[in-house]
Amino acid sequence: LEVPTCLLVVGAGDQLNAAAPLSAMSAVAIKKPESHKREYSYLELDNGLKAVIGSDPTCDKAGAALCVNVGMCHERKDLPGLAHFLEHMLFTGTKKYPSEGDYHEFIQQNGGFANAYTTCYFTNYMFEIKPEELKGGLDRFSRFFTEPLLTKECTDREINAVDSEYQGGSTQPWWRYIGIMHQSANPDHPFHVAVGNNKVLRDEPKERGVDLYDEMVKLYNECYSANGMTLCIIGRESIAELTELTLSLFGGVVNKGVTMPIGDSVSDKPPFLPKDWNRMLLQFPVQDIKDLTFSWVIPWQDPLWRSKPTRYIGHLLGYEGAGSLCQVLKSKGLISGCSSGNGNWLEGAFSLCNVSFDLTEKGLQHLEEIGQHLFAFIGMLQKSPPERWIFDEMGKLAEIGFRFGEDQHPFDLCQEISLSLQRLPPAEVLAGKSHLYDFDPAGIAAVLGKLTLQGARVQHQAKCLEPRCTERDTSYNSPMAFLPLEESWRAAWSKAVNASGSVEESTKFAASLGIALPKPNPFIPEDLSLKALPMDPPQLPQVLPGAPPLAGLFHRQDDKLLQPKAHSDFLIYTPYVCKDIESYVKAELWCRCVSEALQEYAYDAQIAGMDYSISLGPTFVRLALDGYSDKLGVLLGAVTDKMKSFTEVPDDVYSIVADAYSDEIQNVAFHSKPYSQCSMRFTELSSKGGVFPSYKRYETFKGLKRESLSGVAGEIFHSGGCHVEGLVIGNMTAEDASKLAAQLVDGLGLKTPLTELPVRAEAKLPEGKTVWQLEGTDAEEPNHAVFLRMQMEDSIETDMHLKLLNKIIGAKFFDVLRTQQQLGYIVSMSSAPTTHFQYLNAVIQTEFPPDYVRGRINAFFDEHLKNVAENLSSEEFETCRGGLLSDLKMQPKSLGEEAGRYLGQITTRAYDFGRRQRAIDYVEGAASVSSMKKFITDLESAPRMYSQVKKTHPKEDKPLPEGATVPEDPTGLRTWTTHRETVQSFGESAEWLHIDKSVGAAAAAAARHNISPVSRA
């Protein structure tokens, strides 16, 4: 095999591959966060393909991603969705691996997963896998770009897959917005954006005599060129070995010498004509949404990555601290939130500057006033020179954030680097998107100069706009309308921006509205040192001594990530939150009101890398804080002070929170996707204790008012007593953790301990098979859903066998039911634990009749469970065992990820932090082909629950495939056809398994699992 040469960039001490001549070497030092222990190098192959490779001999996952500079805007404009269709077709097999399911099955069985996405100017393919099988994964992956089959027989099937993806987004606000952007584009400009569907990819091309398959192959052959590809590979191999892999597997990608247009080279025409852009867009959403967005088309910003003018502007427009545009409008009760952003993956020929406001009911009547405040602030910024100190502060926070940024798993990191390599110099693929290098006042002023009234699109969506939305968008058929901006608005906003006025006049007018620039951030961390570690740091959390109501404080000082950060979680058990649904909703609203009242203060902490949240669990209030350990106590003090003193909720805070809560809870209750409805109904059925469904919470909320929250703080923390359990990990000693917990208890004035915790329980499912038929809650949703759960009692053995089974047949489930049978876009098999049970889950969201899909699920398991029981080979088992062990041995990449592993053990009150290692021991030592086969016998007799949500949308179901029928229900199948009545009757008759409610559970578990109290000395 002749190995192509390349431009190889290496660090000092690397051994050079003989295929890379010294004359082609040039040093590029890739800037990286301290958490990235791997060594990076940059390569450029003779064929023009650019690559970053990362060598980490200790990594627990490997992976790769390849980004090609071809996207939606490079396809024929009369074949919208062609580039996305091509992305799908690349997965239909290669010459060496012709079976279209081979790639996904190999990846999944070896502890990984794979995906791809298409944007306007790029398509990115990525996978992650256990390190030992990186070469096998790369061998399969690389052939997408050297010898894909693009199997013609798969054309109709993959068009259907694209259509299912399109249908899945048909009610979502983002995709409806995308459709309108597509519709708004200048016909003479290449910009367009489309997922594709049956109509535009199958029906219309046929009518015009266009062969879609030929056009797809043409797009691949003409545009997928090595010189437009960027690659990232991360593995255990040395730089030299990864270089060899890259050369041998990707050196054969053909360089077709094409340069795909991006930026100014895309077109000399504007992407949007002023007459189509500068107007009012009204939208009638499916979900309960009320927002107002101002958008401007600005020059493509990627070339300005060193100075990032829009970062400075977005920081000021989206700031939420004292004196901000957001804070002023909140104080008037007009908005519940605001944000500033860009055009995300739509950008490439242009960029967008967006300012969005989440409206209250009152705000719906004051759009002109909101716009007046925005344009007054913009006018002030346009006339005032950019502030160097603001830029420097942003730069300092960016540097700290990058230096101590958390590492990522290869699946995410590889795709991020491969995309960055398309846009940034190799040395900056990690740092360039965050760092602020150059202060460019002229560049900031130039962008601000584009934010004019004449260049703005004003987008407004709300339920109340239905009568005015008399048009339909051309992509998703959603109700909308384009209207001229109202003349009174133009006049008021033009006066506010004061285009011809002085800086003094604009500043004075903004100040009269209460708007001012931010003040210096008090939360910038100062002490970034690491605390001294004990001689032998515990590898699992240890329980620390404490007195009631603090009954279980778990701590682990980090000795792996080694960052000046900490994460804390406190669970405050209180009978009030689960006494009844009214108490729960009051407590939920109160928590949100506290957060809203703190937002002006806490926003500076958030942009400085600190964060907190107050939320409700089933029987507890959860307070979580994370960020730099230097300031964690300061933030906790502010939060507990507000919680303790917040006995009366101000009118302005309640109106903001209640408005946002009403929209959110209605969307969850009535506009969730069908598969999510299945999950919510099952939780309502099978859980007891502080579990209140969203539709009941909404019904209760409608009967509440601000005064209803009077005294709720006292009810939560003092009326019936409290029980506190906590977790503190990171750059904190045991003494630090104890002080933090004491600060919480003292700050909230918690004194009376509970004698036992509120009741929580889970239900055993009835024996045999049960179908629960439910009606969908969203009249606009075109899909049904079928969600199967097989329930087994929890044990490590059951948990591991279910995970092994998912490795063995999970990819087959996807391949058979989604790829081959095309039952829907959302097709998934998984396992999931609860406190007392393990579940095998299978879910399909579909346009086919749900009974037919249930039959297809049953047929799959009948065939494949039998095949596992009778024909599972040692070779396949060992592959899947290795893949599972690779998953189990993965180390957390962040404190949040590590905390998530422990918190589940605390909330279920098992406190079994060593369970993961015992699971590893079981898989390594006891799991076998014979144990797997025996497990299948037990699984086949497990109770099965099929939750079926049937759509109410009048659209006809997809016709069954030729010769297919809906199977008859088997004898003994139990059928439930009601919702609330079923929940009530099942709750009365079910066998309930209770969760430990003893206040001494943590101490007892500490002794049982050998995590006994340690000294704070």
The pLDDT of residue 567 is above 50? yes
Are β-strands 944-950 and 769-775 bridged in parallel, bridged antiparallel, or unpaired?
parallel
The mean per-residue pLDDT over the stretch 484-506 comes to 92
Q: Is the pLDDT of residue 45 over 90?
A: yes
Looking at residue 1010, its pLDDT comes to 73
> Is 2's pLDDT higher than 50?
no
Q: What is the pLDDT of residue 1012?
A: 60
Taking Cα atoms as reference points, which of 701, 678, 714 lies closest to residue 574? 714
Predicted confidence (pLDDT) at residue 25 exceeds the cutoff of 80: no
Look at residue 150 and tell me whether its pLDDT is greater than 60.
yes
CA angle 435, 440, 445 (to 5 degrees): 125
Q: For the segment 111-144, what is each residue's pLDDT rounded down to a tens digit?
A: 999 999 999 999 999 999 999 999 999 999 999 9
- CA-closest candidate to residue 141, choices 246, 222, 69, 47: 246
910-945 pLDDT per residue, tens: 999 999 999 999 999 999 999 999 999 999 999 999
Rounded CA separation 326/337 (Å): 7
pLDDT in tens, 776-785: 999 999 999 9
Mean pLDDT of 904-909: 95
Report the candidate in 732, 742, 724 with the shortest Cα–Cα distance to residue 555.
Answer: 732
Sign of the CA dihedral running 918, 919, 925, 931: positive
- Token pair, residue 43, equals 């390569």
**Rounded mean pLDDT, 507-515:** 94
CA atoms 427, 433, 437, 438: torsion sign = positive
- % residues pLDDT > 70 (the chain): 97
Q: H/E element holding 575?
A: none
Task: Residue 514: name the closest of 334, 383, 364 by CA.
Answer: 334
Summary mean pLDDT of the chain: 94
Yes or no: say if 806 and 1010 are a contact pair by the CB < 8 Å rule: no
Cα(393)–Cα(263) distance, integer angstroms = 30
* Claim: this prediction has a pTM higher than 0.95: no
Which one, of 191, 108, 25, lies nearest residue 876 by Cα? 108
pLDDT in tens, 253-271: 999 999 999 998 999 999 9
| pLDDT surpassing 70 at residue 18 | no
**What's residue 20's pLDDT?**
37
What integer pLDDT is reported at residue 4 of this predicted model? 31
Phi first, then psi: give them for residue 436, nearest 5 degrees: -110, 105
- Which tokens go with 539? 């590898």
Residue 3 has pLDDT above 80, yes or no: no
Choose among 67, 73, 72: nearest CA to 83.
72
Please tell me whether residue 381 adopts helix, strand or coil conformation.
helix
* 989 pLDDT above the threshold of 90: yes
Q: Within a 13 Å sphere around the CA of 436, how many CA atoms are in the beta-carbon half?
A: 23
- Omega of the bond prior to 190 within 30 degrees of 0, cis? no
- CB atoms near residue 264 (< 10 Å): 12
**CA-to-CA distance for 575 and 752, rounded, in angstroms?**
12
- Mean pLDDT (whole number) for 78-98: 97
Cβ atoms of residues 624 and 568 within 8 Å:
yes
Residue 808 pLDDT = 97
